[in-house]
Amino acid sequence: MHEMSIALAVVEQVARAARSHGAEAVESVRLQVGELAGVVPESLEFCFELACADTVVAGARLLTEPVAARARCGGCGTEWPVGMPPDLCCPRCAGAETELLAGRELQILGVCWADGPALAPTHQEG
Protein backbone atom coordinates (compact mmCIF):
# COMPACT_ATOMS: atom_id res chain seq x y z
CA MET A 1 0.00 0.00 0.00
CA HIS A 2 1.77 3.14 -1.15
CA GLU A 3 -0.42 5.33 1.06
CA MET A 4 1.80 4.28 3.98
CA SER A 5 4.96 5.49 2.23
CA ILE A 6 3.20 8.78 1.44
CA ALA A 7 2.02 9.14 5.04
CA LEU A 8 5.52 8.42 6.37
CA ALA A 9 7.03 11.02 4.02
CA VAL A 10 4.46 13.65 5.04
CA VAL A 11 5.01 12.97 8.75
CA GLU A 12 8.79 13.13 8.30
CA GLN A 13 8.58 16.50 6.50
CA VAL A 14 6.15 17.96 9.04
CA ALA A 15 8.20 16.70 12.00
CA ARG A 16 11.35 18.23 10.48
CA ALA A 17 9.55 21.56 10.00
CA ALA A 18 8.21 21.39 13.58
CA ARG A 19 11.72 20.88 14.97
CA SER A 20 13.15 23.74 12.94
CA HIS A 21 10.38 26.09 14.13
CA GLY A 22 10.44 24.96 17.75
CA ALA A 23 6.87 23.64 17.64
CA GLU A 24 5.97 21.10 20.29
CA ALA A 25 2.84 19.70 18.64
CA VAL A 26 0.96 19.73 15.35
CA GLU A 27 -2.78 20.34 15.23
CA SER A 28 -3.41 19.65 11.53
CA VAL A 29 -1.78 19.05 8.16
CA ARG A 30 -3.44 20.19 4.92
CA LEU A 31 -2.64 17.97 1.96
CA GLN A 32 -3.74 18.50 -1.64
CA VAL A 33 -4.57 15.20 -3.40
CA GLY A 34 -5.26 15.05 -7.13
CA GLU A 35 -7.90 12.73 -8.51
CA LEU A 36 -5.25 10.96 -10.64
CA ALA A 37 -2.58 10.75 -7.91
CA GLY A 38 -3.51 7.13 -7.25
CA VAL A 39 -4.26 7.78 -3.58
CA VAL A 40 -7.26 6.51 -1.63
CA PRO A 41 -7.95 9.32 0.87
CA GLU A 42 -9.44 7.00 3.52
CA SER A 43 -6.39 4.72 3.34
CA LEU A 44 -4.08 7.71 3.52
CA GLU A 45 -5.87 9.01 6.64
CA PHE A 46 -5.55 5.59 8.31
CA CYS A 47 -1.86 5.34 7.41
CA PHE A 48 -1.23 8.93 8.52
CA GLU A 49 -2.59 8.14 11.97
CA LEU A 50 -0.27 5.12 12.25
CA ALA A 51 2.74 7.04 10.89
CA CYS A 52 2.22 9.83 13.45
CA ALA A 53 2.61 7.54 16.47
CA ASP A 54 5.41 8.63 18.82
CA THR A 55 6.18 11.78 16.80
CA VAL A 56 5.49 15.48 17.29
CA VAL A 57 2.71 14.97 14.72
CA ALA A 58 0.83 12.45 16.92
CA GLY A 59 -2.83 13.38 17.24
CA ALA A 60 -2.79 15.76 14.27
CA ARG A 61 -5.70 15.79 11.83
CA LEU A 62 -5.01 15.17 8.17
CA LEU A 63 -7.13 17.50 6.06
CA THR A 64 -7.17 16.40 2.45
CA GLU A 65 -8.26 18.75 -0.31
CA PRO A 66 -9.24 16.94 -3.51
CA VAL A 67 -8.26 18.31 -6.92
CA ALA A 68 -10.40 17.30 -9.89
CA ALA A 69 -8.56 16.17 -13.01
CA ARG A 70 -8.78 18.59 -15.94
CA ALA A 71 -7.27 18.47 -19.42
CA ARG A 72 -6.90 20.80 -22.42
CA CYS A 73 -6.82 19.88 -26.10
CA GLY A 74 -3.69 21.12 -27.86
CA GLY A 75 -5.56 21.20 -31.16
CA CYS A 76 -8.71 23.18 -30.38
CA GLY A 77 -8.07 24.49 -26.85
CA THR A 78 -11.13 22.88 -25.27
CA GLU A 79 -10.83 22.16 -21.53
CA TRP A 80 -12.78 19.37 -19.83
CA PRO A 81 -12.98 17.35 -16.61
CA VAL A 82 -11.08 14.13 -17.19
CA GLY A 83 -13.06 11.97 -14.75
CA MET A 84 -12.41 8.43 -13.66
CA PRO A 85 -11.45 6.38 -15.52
CA PRO A 86 -9.52 9.14 -17.30
CA ASP A 87 -10.87 10.24 -20.68
CA LEU A 88 -8.00 11.96 -22.46
CA CYS A 89 -9.61 12.36 -25.89
CA CYS A 90 -11.02 15.81 -26.62
CA PRO A 91 -14.82 15.77 -26.32
CA ARG A 92 -15.05 18.49 -28.98
CA CYS A 93 -12.69 17.41 -31.78
CA ALA A 94 -11.74 13.85 -30.64
CA GLY A 95 -8.08 14.92 -30.75
CA ALA A 96 -5.50 13.13 -28.64
CA GLU A 97 -3.08 16.06 -28.31
CA THR A 98 -3.95 16.42 -24.63
CA GLU A 99 -2.30 18.43 -21.86
CA LEU A 100 -3.19 17.41 -18.29
CA LEU A 101 -3.83 20.63 -16.35
CA ALA A 102 -4.70 19.26 -12.91
CA GLY A 103 -5.31 16.04 -11.06
CA ARG A 104 -1.86 14.64 -10.24
CA GLU A 105 -1.17 16.92 -7.25
CA LEU A 106 0.13 15.48 -4.00
CA GLN A 107 1.56 18.22 -1.84
CA ILE A 108 1.52 19.65 1.64
CA LEU A 109 -0.40 22.93 1.57
CA GLY A 110 0.09 23.93 5.19
CA VAL A 111 0.62 22.92 8.78
CA CYS A 112 -1.08 24.30 11.87
CA TRP A 113 1.01 24.07 15.03
CA ALA A 114 -1.00 23.29 18.16
CA ASP A 115 0.96 26.01 19.97
CA GLY A 116 1.27 28.66 17.30
CA PRO A 117 0.37 30.01 13.84
CA ALA A 118 0.04 28.05 10.65
CA LEU A 119 3.01 27.46 8.41
CA ALA A 120 2.93 27.16 4.65
CA PRO A 121 5.73 24.78 3.64
CA THR A 122 8.76 25.98 1.75
CA HIS A 123 9.24 22.54 0.15
CA GLN A 124 6.36 20.70 -1.45
CA GLU A 125 5.96 17.15 -2.69
CA GLY A 126 4.40 16.69 -6.05
Model confidence pLDDT, tens digit, residues 28-50: 999 999 999 999 999 999 999 99
Q: Residue 14 — very low, low, confident or very high, per pLDDT cuts 50/70/90?
A: very high
Nearest CA to 109 out of 93, 96, 120 is that of: 120
Q: Write down the pLDDT at residue 87.
A: 86
Ramachandran area for residue 78 (φ above 0: left; ψ -120 to 50: alpha; else beta): beta
Fold of 2-68+103-119: hypothetical protein PF0899 fold (3.30.2320)
Do you know the residue count of the chain?
126
Q: Domain spans of the chain?
A: 2-68+103-119, 69-102
Rounded CA-CA distance 24/36 in Å is: 34
Q: What is the pLDDT of residues 104-114, one digit of tens each?
A: 999 999 999 98
